[in-house]
Amino acid sequence: MSRHHDDSYVPRHGPEAKFAVETEATLPTTKWEAEKKWALEVGLPGAPSLRDKSIPTFSRGELPHFAGINTFLKAPYLEDVRKCGNYDVAVMGAPLDAGTTYRPGTRFGPQGIRRISALYGSYSFELGVDLRESITIADIGDIFTIPANIEKSFDQISRAVSHVYKSGAFPIVLGGDHSIGYPTVRGVAENLSGNLGIIHFDRHVDTQEYDLDERMHTTPWFHATDIPNVPPKNLVQIGIGGWQAPRPGVAAGRERQTTIMTVNDCVDMGVEEAANVALEVAWQDAEAVWLSFDVDCLDAAFVPGTGWPEPGGFLPREVLKMIQVIGSKPLAGIEVVECSPPYDNADITSLIATRVICDTLACLVRAGHLPKGTVG
């Protein structure tokens, strides 16, 4: 039975839903139509028995979500990384877990994130952004890390991130354990004439000098803030707390005067205000800001697939609200770390990693910081 439009009826949308419903009507479908046409050309027209003539014989593009080759969001795979600057966004994996001090498996993080990212489309209802229509994304594959040598892996990661950042593409790094925070920051900082700030989501401070006699996933910010143009006063750490905070790291942060906000601090002041404080600290006299997101900042119930789960962390909606605020300002790039698929349950840890990345991109688009060449 069909339902007819009633001019006298006004839906009782909530404010966010009203914005979402009205905004969707303004979004183009140009690239979606082009993708469907391309899929028919390269994937061959579907069987005559199919009613939907846009379905190809071979899966190409977004649909179906359960099929296809696993790149991030089913973005095109760019084999020639010399051309990454032709895209607005370049996604790379850093499959490293040589820095883990308890549960390993984060070397499989990039695979896990890519796999579950196929579940997502390119459009966010609440944010009113369609990434397909707004920006170009390429997946440039994984950095060649050296499992038996963490320092050589750091050199590889810095070289890769520097290449992407220098190209003009927005770098997204799929970790990997959090030891990669040092080489990713190093790769960006070497391309700046001014300072680089860091917004760091985590339950752990990660600011001790060494752990188990090496630079591990508990040490990235000690060494990152040793870089001359990455001052510790521009490092803000969000969500720190629990029973896994090594005292040498706490002492180093205190001595270097980093800024720390616990989960309760953020909740008590309001997560949006906390995010604004983070932006103020990270951007003070800085040329750019790097976002480092450790999935274990979320309560352990939401991220079973991580190396150091800690109860008492954020709720997903609290983190996503902060991401909306942080994404209102330009970013140098983002890394999402500590996804360990071997310990995950139903891919939920990799799913929140995907969501954080997608929401960050959408907020940068909405604020005009992406695509390249727009004014923020």
Q: Which residues contact 48 (CB under 8 A, 6 or more apart)?
A: none
Q: Is residue 49 part of a domain?
A: no
Q: Is residue 137 part of a domain?
A: yes
153-162 pLDDT, tens digit each: 999 999 999 9
Q: What is the pLDDT of residue 1?
A: 43
pLDDT of the residue at 187: 98
Domain count of the chain? 1
In a domain, 208, yes or no: no
Q: Provide the residue range defining the domain that includes 110.
A: 72-195+289-366
Using an 8 Å Cβ cutoff, are 293 and 337 in contact? Answer: yes
What is the reported pLDDT for 158? 98
Query: Kind of pairing, strands 333-337 and 170-175?
Result: parallel
- Residue 190's CATH number: 3.40.800.10
pLDDT at 212: 83
131, 192, 189: which is closest to 362 by C-alpha? 131
Among 168, 201, 169, 173, which Cα is nearest to 185's? 173
Please give the pLDDT value at position 213: 78
Q: Which of 111, 135, 121 is nearest to 64 (CA)?
A: 121
CB-side exposure of 366: number of CA atoms within 13 Å? Answer: 22
Q: Is residue 81 part of a domain?
A: yes
Residues of the chain with pLDDT under 50: 1, 375-376
Residue 107 confidence (pLDDT): 97
Q: Quickly list DSSP for 40-69.
A: HHHH-B--TT-S-TT-BSS--SS-STTSS-
Per-residue pLDDT tens for 156-210? 999 999 999 999 999 999 999 999 999 999 999 999 999 999 999 999 999 999 8
Residue 40 domain flag: no
| pLDDT score for 205 | 92
**Residue 276 covered by a domain:** no
> What does the alpha-carbon distance between residue 170 and residue 331 come to, in Å, rounded to a whole number?
9
64 within a domain of the structure (yes/no) = no
Whole-number Å distance between alpha carbons of 167 and 161? 10
d(CA 182, CA 223): 6
**How many of the other CB atoms lie within 10 Å of CB of 119?**
13
Proportion of the chain in helix, strand, coil states, percent, rounded to 5: 40, 15, 45
Predicted TM-score of the model (pTM): 0.95
Distance CA 236, CA 220 (A): 14
31 within domain boundaries: no
The confidence score (pLDDT) of residue 374 equals: 56
Residue type present at position 127: L
Bridge partners (DSSP) of residue 290 are 198, 333
What is the pLDDT at residue 376?
A: 37
Q: What burial letters (b/e) apply to 35-70, b meaning 16+ CB within 10 Å? A: bbeebbeeeeebeeeeeeeebbeebbbbbeeeeeeb
